[in-house]
Amino acid sequence: MSGRVRRRDARGMVTAELAVAILAVFSLFVLLCWGLVLIVVQLRLVDTAAAVARQEARHDAAAVSRARAEAPAGAVIHVVRQPTQVRVSVSVRVRSFARGLPAVPLHADAVVVPEPGSPR
């Protein structure tokens, strides 16, 4: 034993590092999923605002109700009709699916000119 150096046992060290790395990757994955959810909801708000504004400008009540039905759950749709434009605002608060993440308010607007032959 005179020429041998005894190595310290470090088998548990890799396990602890792996556990921390897995938690970090999982946290990043949850945040990325949350970001994707917010992007999808924002796109749905933009589409809803544009569709409702377009149908309101045409005075098509059936199409307006169909466009409103496509809005995300809990969305608030506000329509302002003026002689020269129709302004639609859609907003919603998106609650997180993970504990500790805050609800995020999202908002979209659309403005269109009423169609020439439509009643005012």
**Residue 53 resides in a domain:** yes
d(CA 90, CA 110): 9
Q: Do 71 and 77 meet the contact criterion of CB atoms below 8 Å apart?
A: yes
Q: How far apart are CA 79 and CA 67, in angstroms?
A: 13
Residue 120 lies in a domain: no
Distance CA 12, CA 26 (A): 21
Task: State the pLDDT at residue 44.
Answer: 95
Residue 31 forms part of a structural domain: yes
In the prediction, which pLDDT does 99 show? 77
Q: Please, are residues 92 and 45 in contact by the beta-carbon 8 Å criterion?
A: yes
pLDDT (tens digit per residue) in 29-39: 988 988 999 99
* Residue 98 belongs to a domain: yes
pLDDT tens for each residue of 11-23: 556 788 888 999 9
The total number of structural domains in the chain stands at 1
Residues of the chain with pLDDT under 70: 1-13, 118-120
Radius of gyration of the chain from its Cα atoms, rounded to whole angstroms: 27
Q: How far apart are CA 52 and CA 58, in angstroms?
A: 10
Domain limits for position 26? 11-112
